[in-house]
Amino acid sequence: MARLEGITEQINERLAHIETELSDLRNAVKSETDTLRGEINALRAEMSSLRAEMNALRAEVMGEIGELRTEVQRNFKFLVTIIISVLFPMWVTIILTILFKG
């Protein structure tokens, strides 16, 4: 009988030790989980900040592209005007010279 009580006491001690280790493991996992959640939240905040910055840069670039388009159109119109004002009289002069010379 004493032997059974000793075995039972030894089993109780081992189970108590296992419960303590399990509790420590749970606490460690919870601590790591909380740390990871904090890091994830910090990364989410940083990503949100980066998204806002990217949207601002995108708006700025789109504005610059719009300005460049306007400038290119204005310069193209100016070029066409120069070509017409210089080449057209030249071609008319050449055609008239050919027609009246012959």
Q: What does 31-55 look like in DSSP terms, one character per residue?
A: HHHHHHHHHHHHHHHHHHHHHHHHH
The conformation of residue 7, written as its DSSP 8-state character, comes to H
The model's pTM is 0.56
Question: pLDDT digit string (tens) for 7-54?
Answer: 898 998 899 999 999 999 999 999 999 999 999 999 999 999 999 999
Tell me the two tokens of residue 60: 């700025």
Question: pLDDT digit string (tens) for 63-95?
Answer: 999 999 999 999 999 999 998 888 888 888 999
Tell me the two tokens of residue 96: 């008239």
Q: What is the pLDDT of residue 102?
A: 62
